[in-house]
Amino acid sequence: MNKKNPEVVMVTGASAGVGRATALAFAKRGAHLGLIARGLPGLESLRKEIEALGARAVVLQCDVADPEQVEASAKKLEETFGPINVWVNNAMTTIFAPFKKIEPAEYKRATEVTYLGAVYGTMAAVKRMLSRDSGTIVQVGSALAYRSIPLQSPYCGAKHAILGFTASLRSELLHDGSNVHITMVHLPAMNTPQFEWCRTRLPRHPQPVPPIFEPEVAAEAIYWAAHHRRREVRVGASTVKAIIGNKVMPSTLDHYLGNIGYEAQQTHDPVLPDRPDNLFEPVDTDYGTHGSFGAKSANFSLQTWSTLHRGTLAAAAAGAAVLAWATVGRKKKARHKR
């Protein structure tokens, strides 16, 4: 898209973390954005950041667990900026706790936001994109869509569900010969504010399992996936290892994670009594893009860079092979002349 015809992009879960970084990644390329989340302070702050970049955005305060709100948001975005080109389903919430300590209403809520929110977002996007026979839907997945870990059963279950739902829809699109593209970007542990505000029943402050990456690493992969017809993109070597490891030795990983998974997901700090909780209601604070684990987080992934530049690397390898072949040929000629 050019400046005269900017790309129109919807991002759910845009007020913080990966969603916020993703919205900014599109804004830097001149896109017009629809920003969906429940927390208004974060959305308004992000809108100002986007406008400072010279792009435009519309704030769409919305609970993605409500399909009518999602549909109304899609309608509002198109009325404001025109047809939606890209829809990014990123919204999530969860509860950090052993399954036996989670109430039915809590599990239901986490599933409705994280899984059904992606379903409802996809419905709103497909409804519009099919009639135009164009558009891309990006599902923000996780290594945990393939390899579950303890203390996060609502989140793991939802990400597994998104994976299955997306594969089913992809087959239907292929059957219909549609040019609408759907893809998944599977993430590793990210330094986002979710660990500050998701509900927890752990004795100590929850943390992502290292290695941890900054949200901008994910955002660049999501932007790339929105513009390349790849079935899925895996971010970080740890994501690749988790997916492959689960195929090769799932039972071994069950036991390994049972032994280390509780400790690896908690810091040494106790959970504060006044900790915010966004499971049922949004928080009233702008948490920004990053969480509190910046000192432990990487802002670059060699694996991800090589994935996004596979064509360049292949061309370079081919060039190196030609150069090596030519060098060997010259040496053979030189020896023959002697």
3-state secondary structure of 27: helix
Alpha helices in the chain (DSSP H): 17-27, 40-52, 67-81, 104-111, 117-132, 153-175, 194-197, 215-225, 237-248, 250-264, 302-308, 310-337
Name residue 86's amino acid. Answer: V
Which letter, b or e, does each residue of 61-76 get, where b requires 16 or more Cβ atoms within 10 Å of its Cβ?
A: bbbbbbeebbbebbee
Q: Is 155 a catalytic residue?
A: yes
Helices 153-175 and 104-111, packing angle to 10 deg = 40
Q: Which residues contact 244 (CB under 8 A, 6 or more apart)?
A: none
**Cα separation, 51 vs 47, whole angstroms:** 6
**Catalytic residue selected from 146, 155, 223, 287:** 155
- Phi first, then psi: what are they for 208, rounded to 5°? -70, 150
Q: Which residues are catalytic?
A: 155
